[in-house]
Copies of this chain bind each other. A is one copy, B any other.
Amino acid sequence: MEKVKLFGTWSCPFAKRIVWALKLKNIEYEMIYEDLANKSPELLKYNPIHKKIPILVHNEIPLCESLVIVEYIDETWKDVYPFLPKDPLDRAKERFWAKFGDEQILSSFFNYFMKQGKDQEEAKEKTLTNLKRIEQLLSENKFLSGERFGYLDLTFGWLADNLRPLEIVTGLKLLDEDSFPNICAWKDEILSIPSIQECWPNQEALIAKYQETKERKGK
């Protein structure tokens, strides 16, 4: 019998992509919520190198690094809802953009909302320049992976579920519908997928979390 455990937090962008992946494949799993200020012995045992979440533990074997985990899930439960396309060129493109998102957009996106002054300005410029490329990717298809929600959409999930809460808390507007119509439509489209809807992070809870972060930083 398959035994799947996921170590994460409810709001970690890297853990959430694993939750979505498991839901889309209809895989039963146990969620173990970690307190990152007081990491559990299991977390430290399963990821002694990075000591980070998410960790997927499949039949007692731990896997780390969220993009590696998503591919592992795709290859292990390969008959249900494949994430990556079959064509090597399409696969390479999705892997390229997933890496680009994690390395070039994710941090600057959060920095834009959470930093001040020059750091914020720089983060904004970098985020917008790079999101313009993502906007362009969506010019032909409604999903980043094409006509169907796939690997690349999974890896960009953090953008879809954090944007509104962060805009509300900070009063800042990063993406307007005139300049980023495709990303705005994509964000709504994702929510029409039942498996995603089911595990869509509670927007009020995200707002409260970011409000608390903002107040702590303001002190």
Contact = CB atoms under 8 A, between A and B. Distances in A.
Contacts of A96: 63-65, 68
19 contacts: A49-B100, A61-B89, A63-B92, A63-B96, A65-B95, A65-B96, A68-B92, A68-B99, A69-B92, A71-B91, A71-B92, A71-B95, A72-B88, A72-B91, A72-B92, A75-B88, A75-B91, A76-B88, A76-B89
Give this chain's copy count.
2
A133 interface: yes
A133 B64 CA distance: 15
A92 B62 CA distance: 10
A88 B75 CA distance: 6
Interface of A: 49, 58, 61, 63-65, 68-69, 71-72, 75-76, 88-89, 91-92, 95-96, 99-100, 133
Contact of A72 (B69, B76, B89, B100): B89
A68 B95 CA distance: 7
Residue from A63, A65, A92 whose CB has the most chain B CB atoms within 10 Å: A92
Contacts of A89: 58, 61, 63, 72, 76
A146 to B, nearest CB: 17
